[in-house]
Structure 1
Amino acid sequence: MKKKMVSGVMLLMSVTLGLAACGGGKKEESTSSNEDATKFARAVKNEEKAIDGGTLKVAIAADTQFPGVFDANFSSNALDTKIMSGAYESLIKYDDEGKLIDGGPADLEIDVDGKKAIIKLREDLKWSDGKAVTTEDVIFPYEIIGHKDYPGVRYGSKFESIVGMKEYHEGKAETISGIKAIDDRSVEISYIEMNPAIKLAGGVIWGTATPKRLFEGIAVKDMETSDPVRKNPVTLGAFKLDKFVNGESATFVANEHYYGGKPKLAKIVKTIVPTASVVESMKAKEYDTFVDMPADSYDTYKDLEGYQILGDVDNSYTYLGFKMGKWNAEQEGVAYDEKSKMANKNLRQAMGYAINTEAIADKFYHGLRSTSNSLIIPFFKSVHNPDQKGYSYDHKKAKKLLEDAGYKDTDDDGIREDPNGDKLVINFACRKNEEISQALADYMIQEWEKIGLKVELSGGRLMDSQAFYKKLQEDDPEIDVYNAAWVTGLDPAPTGLYGRNSEFNYTRFASEENDKLLKALESEKTFDDKERKKAFYAWQEYAKEEAFAIPTTNYYVIQPVNNRVKNYLLSNKEMDWSKVELTADKPK
């Protein structure tokens, strides 16, 4: 759900040729000037005296507009999240490892034996409009997401672990019996079974409160398009939304009611900048910092004066997904089709072995990506299996897998038929989201052709990101395979992406074994670190074997920051936006 696109014929040609040279299965020396991404600083260095106030100018490199859903209960687009960072703030703070800690808008007490959690609001906590945050506001998002008419994608197994949630969701109860206010600042949540992710951001505890008073008289099914979500959101962060131009820019002003004290900046302006012009904007010093700068054009901006380049391991990855069913809205679950075109495991595995991910990371992204061996990424050090072998570049193995499964070239045209002897054409969906998007798609199609598979772009061309994900959500029949990316959040458990009851499971793969292994990741048994690691290793091995989604590259996040900015950092935890300052009136 992220990254970018531009056009540049010369670069497209050079990258395509560079990868084609790797087509024989031999490892080639890189000709690009690659970086050791682990050496980047995570915080800006600036000892100059700060000015009073000032406006921080933020560019977000993207070739699509942000949808403008300013509420975490309904937003499912990374652009909206990036626009609202600084205004959004998690109800409970978390550290660099994603573990929930005290000191935020609320603190958390966990009773594992009693299967309960207590969320305790800090005293005098206020919304950005100056009204008090209440226990009703803490409970309300659970009532929204759990409601039978909820139109979003957040409901799933983690919500159903709350006592009484299933009955409420099915319309059998008017309230959620397992959630109650125990005094004017404390909310108690009771669970059927405790999940170790309760300790993590993005885990079992929902991350935001919602001002209930603003939604009085608005049906749940209509909330996503309502004014409190689309026009005038009320938030908890250091800044509040002042005005916005639909899909293009948003201006934030300091929140005078922020619990953490008066912010140092007066304003923040965030603007969507097309990736084709983002480097020129950086050269002209039009913005203070650039979010989602394209790694594929890193050489063109890495040495520009006036900017420090920050970097860190990111919690995101690219992957090949294989469509194998549809979403059953009535049953709120995946309807896996064992007779679908991509249901043959050998076919999926062969397509994975046909792609040289090491060459992609090296030649496309200047070393600012790394090859991926697992759907549990290295970002999650405690549960990622570094020793698991991923899908290495091996055409011989790919061809044998296809032969063994009955995919043979029966008419000697160089293209394999399916096991029934019928013509096989695989429709491949790709986003138009970065400069080398077309070259990357062309490379993959070429490599698949070398193992005898006819693969064509869905619709004959790349797709805009919003259209791409809409088609995935709606299970467009023209998509068999797709190249996409996930931002994982801070909870390593992948149930929300690959579980049977997750609408984000775009592959629509489901099996009893997958259900069992995913459930084991979130059982009380895995409060023990050894058991947790064992369970995660088992799912990673199973996911690799089934190949419903094949990870290709892991991200490093790269962000240029102008030398006039102070106290800005890249971190897994939320940055303290109230402490960010400027040392000059305009970018240097």
Structure 2
Amino acid sequence: MVQRQKRPIQIQWSEWALFIFLIKCCWIFDERRIFMKMSKSKLLSMVLVSSTMLTITACGKKNNDSAMSKQFKQTVPHKAIKSGGTLTYALENDSPFTGIFLAELADTSPDAEAAAPGDEGLFAMDDHYRITDQGAATLKLNHKNQTAEITLKPKVRWSDGHPVTAKDMEYAYEILANPKVKTTQYTGSLENIKGMAEYHQGKAKKISGIEMPQGPTGKKLVLHFKELKPAMLNAGNGFFWEHAAPYHYLKDVPFDKLVSSPQVRKHPLFYGPYKMDHTVQGQSTSWSRNPYYWRGRPHFDHVEMSTISTKNASAAIKNKKFDVIDVVNQQYDQVKNTKDVNFVGKKSLMYSFLAFKVGKWDQKLGKNVQDPHSKMNNPALRKAMAYGMNIDQVNQRLFHGMRYRVNSLIPAQFGKYSDKKLPVYSYNLAKANKLLDKAGYKKDRSTGYRLQPNGKKLTINLAVHYSDTNVESLWTNYMQQWKKLGLHVRFLNGRPMEFNNWVNAVKSSDPKIDVLANAWDPSGDPSPTIFYGEKMPYNFARFVSPTNTKLLEEIDSKKSFDENYRVKKMHEWQRWMYNNAYVVPTNSSYAVTAVNSKVTGWSLK
């Protein structure tokens, strides 16, 4: 999961960026020209990467040579514009989206994307992810009082005309922390707000650290923290929530019924540029102008978003079925010469990874618990599997430079925070075999497969999900490489999983999962805490370490207001993660969007 907590996602732009471009876009009736302006922001909310998106942007030739050679336009030609018309937008999913249209509950990228025309966050950000005063609300930190004051713009209203209030901002925290909701959007970072943990544990009836100085109908919310964090200057920092929830509309819905309520599933309210008129669950969303939108009248009359499978994406681009549609990277060569289409793209901030599961998520304790006896709780085994992946060869042959190797869990786009000198686990079967031999993984002569050091059979269950027609052959290739090492790796349940089933299995810490593949989009603050902390539900490896906790705390400490100190701690953490290999980064890629030539003004700059 894109504002909200940062969520890993790999759509070409965030839902926040989508509504920004929608309010600036329009249609030329006589020439069918659309004007779109794309913000530089990414998805600023924590979501699980969808089946489609993993293939699209989780994706070079060794040393990134072929990736570096790719050049895409970041703008389309500007033409005259006129308001009106309907924008058609493709939701590329190989599974239906679940249709949860409330930021506090939604945690998958398909839901976030399907809600994008209306789902606006509280804050805007600049090119460096710093929160600005250009959004629906402003932020003011008070270092003396350890507080954050959030002030809504006076014209911000829900799509039913009700003003967005301090109570709406406060109620979002109630939803997040109420123990009956059990949302994965609640993380340990929020417990830096005074009284948050007590409310979450059912020990308090309200959150003591949240104040509404002008009353519930006012425009100000004050958050009292145990400690201010340097990340709080940036969007997607995880230490405070960046959305509001319509209290007047949801207050009569019991917390444990919210996720299934029609207010969330069928008739949601938003304060973004568009209001939802209709949704076919899992298939489409239809939108018209929000007449109360605080920025003014959006140019388009309507937005129509509908689902298409990745295998049909290229045909849809060639046939101009949609005005806007993402390019599946493996299929770029098939569509790159399509007439009357502009391809706009750049390197994605997203990275894909392999996580070795060594514990479980304890819902009652609200934290990860590592199992010292887990079969994957051996760094030699984890590193051997990483060395056993012929990633560069796959990227070169299948993705033709559209996907490339990455070395760190902190993307290079974060500049000095990313350790450029960190090595990668390059394909090296000899090194992998040596690690396994030294660690005591002996081969069973009757099967040819290795045994655990304790002599027990070793079978490793791999949880991946369908992302396109090639996913099974892609991962079968990796399993064949691991077989050369004597490792018996198999798909959980015999094949790649349907995306929603994969999500449920991962979130529930299915004990049958040993290794899983996913991707994160760490847009916003570069801190990795939300993905790898002890109290973070998105720590899918479920590892816990005093060293990891200490380094993450130092990265987010007051001392890290000193940038040099924070850079140093970031590098120490990246090196520690490399050495322990609980999570191994694999690829990133170019994010490319096919934009109808009738579209003008689209820009990534």
TM-score norm. by structure 2 comes to 0.87
Instruction: Please give the per-residue CA displacement for 1:131-159, whole angstroms capped at 9, x wherever unaligned.
Output: 11111111111121122222211112221
Check conservation: 1:195, 1:523, Cα contact below 8 A.
Answer: yes
The reply to whether residue 391 of structure 1 matches residue 422 of structure 2 is no
Check conservation: 1:3, 1:294, Cα contact below 8 A.
Answer: no
Check conservation: 1:296, 1:435, Cα contact below 8 A.
Answer: no
The reply to whether residue 124 of structure 1 matches residue 171 of structure 2 is no
SS in 2 for 1:379: helix
Check conservation: 1:380, 1:492, Cα contact below 8 A.
Answer: yes
User: What code does the residue aligned with 2:378 have?
Assistant: N
1:2 aligned partner: 49
The reply to whether residue 45 of structure 1 matches residue 74 of structure 2 is no
The reply to whether residue 189 of structure 1 matches residue 223 of structure 2 is yes
Superposition RMSD in Å: 2.1
Choose from 303, 306, 322 the match for 2:337. 303
Q: d(CA) in 2 for partners of 1:135 and 1:29?
A: 48
Instruction: Please give the per-residue CA displacement for 1:192-249, whole angstroms capped at 9, x wherever unaligned.
Output: 0111111111112311111111112222222111222111111111111111111101
2:283 aligned partner: 248
Choose from 545, 554, 563 the match for 1:529. 563
Instruction: Write the mapping of 1:170-249 to structure 2, written as runs, cut at 5 A.
Output: 170-183=201-214, 184-203=218-237, 204-249=239-284
Check conservation: 1:68, 1:246, Cα contact below 8 A.
Answer: yes
User: What code does the residue aligned with 2:388 have?
Assistant: A
Check conservation: 2:50, 2:110, Cα contact below 8 A.
Answer: no
Choose from 358, 369, 372 the match for 2:392. 358
Choose from 82, 87, 93 the match for 2:124. 93
Identity of aligned residues (%): 32
Instruction: Write the mapping of 1:130-169 to structure 2, written as runs, cut at 5 A.
Output: 130-169=161-200
The reply to whether residue 281 of structure 1 matches residue 316 of structure 2 is yes
User: What code does the residue aligned with 1:79 have?
Assistant: P
Q: d(CA) in 1 for partners of 2:52 and 2:203?
A: 48
Check conservation: 1:37, 1:312, Cα contact below 8 A.
Answer: no
Distance verdict in 2 for CA 1:436–1:389, change over 3 Å: same
The reply to whether residue 69 of structure 1 matches residue 100 of structure 2 is yes
The reply to whether residue 459 of structure 1 matches residue 493 of structure 2 is yes
Q: d(CA) in 1 for partners of 2:399 and 2:166?
A: 47
Q: After TM superposition, what 4+ stretches of structure 1 lie above 6 angstroms from structure 2?
A: 27-30
User: What code does the residue aligned with 1:286 have?
Assistant: K
Report the alpha carbon displacement of residue 546 of structure 1 after superposing the two structures with TM. 1.1
Instruction: Write the mapping of 1:344-355 to structure 2, written as runs, cut at 5 A.
Output: 344-355=378-389
The reply to whether residue 257 of structure 1 matches residue 281 of structure 2 is no
Instruction: Please give the per-residue CA displacement for 1:433-469, whole angstroms capped at 9, x wherever unaligned.
Output: 1232012111101111112212112111111111112
Check conservation: 2:387, 2:428, Cα contact below 8 A.
Answer: yes
Distance verdict in 2 for CA 1:406–1:93, change over 3 Å: same
Distance verdict in 2 for CA 1:408–1:513, change over 3 Å: same
SS in 2 for 1:347: helix
Q: d(CA) in 1 for partners of 2:186 and 2:483?
A: 40
SS in 2 for 1:448: helix
SS in 2 for 1:244: strand
1:325 aligned partner: 359
Report the alpha carbon displacement of residue 35 of structure 1 after superposing the two structures with TM. 6.1
Distance verdict in 2 for CA 1:5–1:167, change over 3 Å: closer
SS in 1 for 2:425: coil
Report the alpha carbon displacement of residue 493 of structure 1 after superposing the two structures with TM. 1.7
Report the alpha carbon displacement of residue 4 of structure 1 after superposing the two structures with TM. 4.8
SS in 2 for 1:358: helix
Instruction: Please give the per-residue CA displacement for 1:268-321, whole angstroms capped at 9, x wherever unaligned.
Output: 111110111111111111110103x21111111111111111112223111111
Number of residue pairs aligned between Structure 1 and Structure 2: 548
Distance verdict in 2 for CA 1:434–1:570, change over 3 Å: farther
Choose from 507, 522, 527 the match for 1:473. 507
User: What code does the residue aligned with 1:524 have?
Assistant: K
1:342 aligned partner: 376
SS in 1 for 2:138: strand
Check conservation: 1:4, 1:294, Cα contact below 8 A.
Answer: no
User: What code does the residue aligned with 1:112 have?
Assistant: H
User: What code does the residue aligned with 1:362 have?
Assistant: Q
Report the alpha carbon displacement of residue 38 of structure 1 after superposing the two structures with TM. 5.7
Alignment gaps of 5+ in structure 1: 7-18, 572-588
The reply to whether residue 564 of structure 1 matches residue 598 of structure 2 is yes
TM-score norm. by structure 1 comes to 0.89
Check conservation: 2:67, 2:403, Cα contact below 8 A.
Answer: no
Instruction: Please give the per-residue CA displacement for 1:337-393, whole angstroms capped at 9, x wherever unaligned.
Output: 110111111100110011122223222222122201111122322411111112112
Check conservation: 2:50, 2:499, Cα contact below 8 A.
Answer: no
Q: d(CA) in 2 for partners of 1:361 and 1:544?
A: 21
Alignment gaps of 5+ in structure 2: 1-47, 54-59
The reply to whether residue 381 of structure 1 matches residue 415 of structure 2 is yes
Q: d(CA) in 2 for partners of 1:177 and 1:67?
A: 34
Check conservation: 2:351, 2:519, Cα contact below 8 A.
Answer: yes
Distance verdict in 2 for CA 1:172–1:479, change over 3 Å: closer
SS in 2 for 1:484: strand
Q: d(CA) in 2 for partners of 1:55 and 1:350?
A: 52
SS in 2 for 1:518: helix
Q: d(CA) in 2 for partners of 1:294 and 1:222?
A: 37
